[in-house]
Chains A and B, each alone.
Chain A
Amino acid sequence: MTSNIGQKPPLWRDDRFWRIAIQVLFVLVVIGVVAWLGTNLSRNIQRQAIKLGFDFLQDQAKFGIGDTPIPYKATDPYSYALLIGLANSLRVMVFGIILTTIVGITAGIASFSDNWLVSKLSLLYVEIVRNTPLLLQLLFWYFGIFFQLPKLSEKIQLPGSIFLSKRGIYIPWPPFTTQLFLWLVVLLVGAIAAVLIWQWRTKVMVEQAQSGQPQLIALIAIAIAAVLIIIIGFGWQRPQVLDTGNIEGGLRLTIEFCALLAGLVFYTGAFIAEIVRAGIQSVQKGQWEAARSLGLKSGLAMRLVIFPQALRVIIPSLNSQYMNLAKNSSLASAIGYSDIYSIAQTTFNQAGHEIEIIVVIIPLTYLTINLIISFVMNLLNRTVQLQER
Chain B
Amino acid sequence: MTTVNSQPPELAPPPELQVNPVTWIKKNLFNTWYNSILTVSVLWFLFVTVKGLITWATTEAQWDVIKLNFRLFFVGTYPATENWRPWLILGIIVFLSGITWGVLARNVPTLFSRNVLIALVISATILVLFPVAIPYRLLLLGIVVLLVASAWGAQQVAKTQPKLGNWLPLAWFIALLIFLWLLGGGLGLKQVSTNQWGGLLLNVLAAVVSILICFPLGVLLALGRQSTLPVVRGFSILYIELIRGLPLIAILFMGQVIIPLFLPPGMRPDRVLRAIIGLTLFSAAYLAENVRGGLQSIPTGQIEAAKALGLNTPLSVGLIVLPQALKAVIPAIVGQFISLFQDTTLLFVVGLVELLGIGDSIFAQAKFETPYQEVYLFDGVLFWLFCYAMSTASRRLEKQLNVDH
Interface centre among A45, A330, A355 (most CB of B within 10 A): A330
Across-interface contacts of B264 in A (CB, < 8 A)? 40, 43
Bound Cα distance from A23 to B186, whole angstroms: 43
Decide: B246 and A116 in contact? CB cutoff 8 A: no
Whether B315 is near chain A, meaning CB under 8 Å from some CB there, is: no
Across-interface contacts of B338 in A (CB, < 8 A)? 131
Binds A, one of B84-92, B175-183, B190-198, B227-235: B227-235
Decide: A355 and B29 in contact? CB cutoff 8 A: no
Interface centre among B343, B370, B372 (most CB of A within 10 A): B372
A135 touching B235 in the complex, CB below 8 Å, given contacts A44-B265, A366-B246: no
Across-interface contacts of B376 in A (CB, < 8 A)? 136, 139-140, 143-144
Interface residues of B (CB under 8 A from A): 28-29, 31, 35, 38-39, 42-43, 46, 228-232, 235, 242, 244-250, 253-254, 257-258, 260-265, 338, 342-343, 345-346, 348-349, 356, 359, 370, 372-373, 376-377, 379-380, 383-384, 387-388, 391
Decide: A40 and B262 in contact? CB cutoff 8 A: yes
A333 touching B349 in the complex, CB below 8 Å, given contacts A131-B391, A132-B384, A133-B383: yes
Residue of A nearest to B267 (CB): A40
Across-interface contacts of A114 in B (CB, < 8 A)? 28, 31, 35
Q: Which of B235, B258, B265, B348 contacts A354 (CB 8 A)?
A: B258
Q: Which of B229, B349, B372 contacts A331 (CB 8 A)?
A: B349
Least Cβ distance of A89 to chain B in Å?
Answer: 10
Q: Which of B229, B250, B265 contacts A341 (CB 8 A)?
A: B250
Least Cβ distance of A144 to chain B in Å?
Answer: 4
Decide: B245 and A367 in contact? CB cutoff 8 A: yes
Least Cβ distance of A20 to chain B in Å?
Answer: 9
Least Cβ distance of A1 to chain B in Å?
Answer: 17
Decide: A139 and B356 in contact? CB cutoff 8 A: yes
The majority secondary structure among interface residues of chain A is: helix
Q: With A22-B232, A367-B242 given, name 8 new contacts (CB 8 A).
A: A40-B261, A44-B262, A114-B35, A128-B384, A134-B342, A136-B379, A359-B254, A366-B247
- 0/1 string, A77-100, CB within 8 A of B gives 1: 000000000000000000000000
Least Cβ distance of B37 to chain A in Å?
Answer: 10
Decide: B245 and A363 in contact? CB cutoff 8 A: yes
Decide: A132 and B383 in contact? CB cutoff 8 A: yes
Decide: B249 and A354 in contact? CB cutoff 8 A: no
Bound Cα distance from A345 to B351, whole angstroms: 14
- 0/1 string, A113-142, CB within 8 A of B gives 1: 111111001000001101111111101100
Bound Cα distance from A40 to B268, whole angstroms: 12
Whether A206 is near chain B, meaning CB under 8 Å from some CB there, is: no
Across-interface contacts of B43 in A (CB, < 8 A)? 117
Decide: B245 and A366 in contact? CB cutoff 8 A: yes
Whether A327 is near chain B, meaning CB under 8 Å from some CB there, is: yes
